[in-house]
Amino acid sequence: MTTSTKPDTRSILARARAAMPGLAATESALTVVATQLRASRDAVRPEDSVAAVALDALLDGGVLPDDLATRVLQIRRDNEIRMATAQILGPVEERLKERLAVLHRTQADDGLRLLAVELDVILSEARPVLAELHGVDDAAGAIDADRVQPWREAIALAERHVALRGAQRVITSASLDPPDRARATTRVAPEVRDMVNNYGIVRDAARHYPELGGSDVNRSELRTGEVRIFSGRLITDSHTDRPVRVRPWLTGDAVADLHFLVTPGVAPWVPSIAALAGARDEHERHQQDEARAAAERRPGDDDPPFPRRGSRQMPPPSAALLDRLAREELGEPA
């Protein structure tokens, strides 16, 4: 199997976008209209340019051209045609932008479904390859263990997986934050990138990564703190606590990430837009519930009960008494 030095993100992204009907045609039309609109606006000429012609003629020979008025009228007519073209194409461009945004919102799941199928293929191919490595996690180890070929295959599969996740982020971002121009196919909003990274790669992400938060920044410290209720709102008094552990599915090592995804008990996925938002919302609701419960818990709620000072505590009943009561309950002679 041949390997590439760079993930073919554009190839898998192009396939996913091709699964979204009408997207390519709308983008092509928007490009044509935007180009013509820009050309029409740039071609508008000022009428006073004729004055420069008259001045040059006077300085050269002292004779004014006879067609000065004709030139002004021609410029005016040309400008009117260009401005009229712009007035027509402007609303057309806006409608195409609206259609592009609608297509990204309504057809993103079509592209994501194709990526989900591709993910299944990658994982099915990766399982036997990674099993054959027997714990090898770098090129030197592959050479020492005579596992060079499976190591190369693992790298190629990992690159395909990286490319797939890149396409997933682009399509998801375009759906949640649609572009307003054609060919804006590689822009990913930071908040959408974090959303995909946190909730869109494995199901039930918090089970595998309890530190799950909302930032994709590789922080050296985690901000934690006491939660309290003030004026009906949850307030967190944050402080630096401990180093943060990286997500086990986004460690920076593509092969290690792929190895985690094929681990039993882990459920990799490419969720639909609704499923991704649902996973994010469910996690946030769970965090809010835990924070509210912690904030409403009063001191001593978790302590075992203890007798009050000065009160008498009855001793536990004896075994003989318990036996006599049981016999009486059953109607047997004591």
What pLDDT score was predicted for residue 222? 37
The structure tokens 């797939």 sit at 164
Domain boundaries, the chain: 9-200+254-270
What pLDDT score was predicted for residue 223? 41
Block means of pLDDT (10 residues each) for the chain, 334 residues, are: 49 93 91 92 86 82 81 89 92 92 94 97 97 88 89 95 96 89 77 95 92 50 42 45 75 94 96 96 87 74 59 66 73 66
SS (H, E, C) the chain: CCCCCCCCHHHHHHHHHHCCCCHHHHHHHHHHHHHHHHHHHHCCCCCCHHHHHHHHHHHHHCCCCCCHHHHHHHHHHHHHHHHHHHHHHHHHHHHHHHHHHHHHHHHHHHHHHHHHHHHHHHHHHHHHHHHHHCCCCCHHHHHHCCCHHHHHHHHHHHHHHHHHHHHHHHHHHHHHCCCCCCCCCCCCCHHHHHHHHHHCCECCHHHHCCCCCCCCCCCCCCEEEEEEEECCEEEEEEEECCCCCCCCCCCCCHHHHHHHHCCCCCCECCCCHHHHHHHHHHHHHHHHHHHHHHHHCCCCCCCCCCCCCCCCCCCCCCHHHHHHHHHHHHCCCC
What pLDDT score was predicted for residue 218? 43
The model's pTM is: 0.70
Confirm if 129 and 230 have CB atoms less than 8 A apart.
Answer: no
